[in-house]
A and B are shown apart, each in its own frame.
Chain A
């Protein structure tokens, strides 16, 4: 090895911090709503302080029991779920779950879901008054509830209406979580951008189902469910790629991210941050493995700032 290389080997750690619509994250790795509980579930496995942000399980105005079981079906390289937004309701969430997260140096993004635009507005108002919330992720794309949910996400003008209602009720950064179960995800993204969204999350699960051929009936108690896991990664990368070209909002990319390589694909397509979802179920340290892998990739390729990587494949 030559002396010249030795002189340059003073290690410069690459910048990993990103800004998602006003939410400052120390690194781009966060959790997909519904796959990480409210945080304490994973503290035996990792230090939550190392996450760029946490996106918690979806919250509704009133407590919800969720859907009948079975709520889960395994499919090739993926899972179908129909949990049905089981949660303790916003008031108990603020009282019981938020204080725990205040112990961490960690932006808390609260995923909210409602039946009407008013529900979303009221949720936004309550959470804006609660201490320790860094941003809201508006779930207009849940396939597992009868009312609201995906209905809002599949109609661009309804998606915009919910976005406006939330924006009018909060000063927190508002991230709209988009559904892939639409003809044009670009059309929905454009409308919510116009309506004032600060960032986008994509993608939520793909609507699917499985049938038990021995019992000759649907596997899931709720019949239909949302498909997630490695099987949907190409759909997620495609959605991020398409929307990044047309809409100038930061994107949290998700959909089957299991490794750092998966995460880097999303970033190269245009994601500012990435969320690890189903992979948490298989490997509770998946977020940390993704984070360490991203850092290694930057080091190995001499990239000083993660932000240089965002959307880079679009310029190729």
Chain B
């Protein structure tokens, strides 16, 4: 199959101020994409802005042959993307990157999302539901208005526990604090999460949140995967712009390419700043 496609916009929906869901007719991508992978999206039809934007795959609808993106308007590229209407064509490259591993059927799965970080995790939750795997989802946002898709995720059969930084909904605090408290409480009640080989954590969100999440899960002795964001050039592994600091190499740090070896990395392999 070709990894370059001009996809027609099936629809675009504004979810909240600055947040959009974009439905693209791309049957091949919908068929082959795996959770955690991304599309490299051309946002303009001119030379400015020049580069594509990496946008994680949010969901697929294989029956309709659609791939769905959920993104936040963060700059000129995504602002242009948000102007697309039904029938407009968008150049896509993908699916690209190394995604999440799908957990074992009997695994205890924890999904921790910070803000827009829910975008790729939603696809993972969609796929897990199809495999009959139920997850505990920790959904965090700055405020209630940015807490997205909790009902949809519950309808997949997962359990959602939410938090907001300002306390406008759910737990008052960060999603990582919420998750850490949850693990501690489980300890006291005799629910074994710590050092449970069959437990796994999947995280996506801002850099600081993922750093904290990694500390928590490494301390708890459970395995986890995090999806990182980095400025990208080519998206295919050639330009070496999206270097991520990982363990390895002679001095303990080895740059790996977020676009090819990532964007999902095992939490213990990332060397945080």
Chain A residues in the interface with B (C-beta under 8 A): 34-37, 41-42, 44-45, 57, 65-66, 69-74, 76-79, 81, 83, 86, 229-230, 258, 278, 280-285
- The yes or no answer to B80 lying at the interface (CB within 8 A) is no
For B253, the chain A residues whose CB sits under 8 A away are: 65
A44, A74, A83, A284: the one within 8 Å of B51 (CB): A74
Distance of B232 from chain A, by nearest CB (Å)? 8
- The yes or no answer to B9 lying at the interface (CB within 8 A) is no
- Contact of B233 with A79 in the complex, beta carbons under 8 Å: yes
**Could you tell me which residues of chain B, from 14 to 29, have a CB within 8 Å of some CB in chain A?**
none
Distance of B185 from chain A, by nearest CB (Å)? 37
- Contact of B239 with A230 in the complex, beta carbons under 8 Å: no
For B65, the chain A residues whose CB sits under 8 A away are: none
Q: Could you jot down 21 A-B contacts, CB within 8 Å?
A: A41-B234, A42-B238, A44-B3, A44-B236, A66-B240, A66-B255, A69-B231, A77-B50, A78-B50, A79-B233, A81-B233, A81-B241, A83-B239, A83-B240, A258-B47, A281-B51, A281-B235, A282-B42, A282-B52, A283-B4, A285-B4
- Contact of B42 with A45 in the complex, beta carbons under 8 Å: no
Residues A282 and B51 in contact in the complex (CB < 8 Å), given A44-B3, A72-B233, A79-B233: yes
- The yes or no answer to B243 lying at the interface (CB within 8 A) is yes
- Contact of B243 with A35 in the complex, beta carbons under 8 Å: no
Distance of A108 from chain B, by nearest CB (Å)? 16
Q: Report the bound CA distance from A229 to B47 in whole Å.
A: 9
With CB as the reference atom, state the residue of chain A lying closest to B233.
Answer: A281
Q: Report the bound CA distance from A223 to B241 in whole Å.
A: 14
For A280, the chain B residues whose CB sits under 8 A away are: 234, 238
With CB as the reference atom, state the residue of chain B lying closest to A67.
Answer: B243
- The yes or no answer to B49 lying at the interface (CB within 8 A) is yes
Residues A229 and B50 in contact in the complex (CB < 8 Å), given A66-B243, A72-B239, A81-B239: yes
With CB as the reference atom, state the residue of chain A lying closest to B241.
Answer: A72
Q: Report the bound CA distance from A71 to B240 in whole Å.
A: 8
For A69, the chain B residues whose CB sits under 8 A away are: 230-231, 242-243
CB 8 Å contact bits of B235-268 with A (1 = contact, 0 = none): 1111111110000010001110000100000000
- State the main secondary structure of chain B at its contact with A: loop
- Contact of A74 with B238 in the complex, beta carbons under 8 Å: no
- Contact of B236 with A83 in the complex, beta carbons under 8 Å: no
Residues A230 and B233 in contact in the complex (CB < 8 Å), given A282-B52, A284-B4, A285-B4: no
- Contact of B243 with A86 in the complex, beta carbons under 8 Å: yes
- Contact of A71 with B42 in the complex, beta carbons under 8 Å: no
With CB as the reference atom, state the residue of chain A lying closest to B76.
Answer: A74
Distance of A72 from chain B, by nearest CB (Å)? 4
- Contact of B50 with A74 in the complex, beta carbons under 8 Å: yes
Q: Report the bound CA distance from A280 to B238 in whole Å.
A: 9
Q: Report the bound CA distance from A280 to B51 in whole Å.
A: 10
- The yes or no answer to B57 lying at the interface (CB within 8 A) is no
Q: Report the bound CA distance from A229 to B50 in whole Å.
A: 8
Distance of B124 from chain A, by nearest CB (Å)? 24
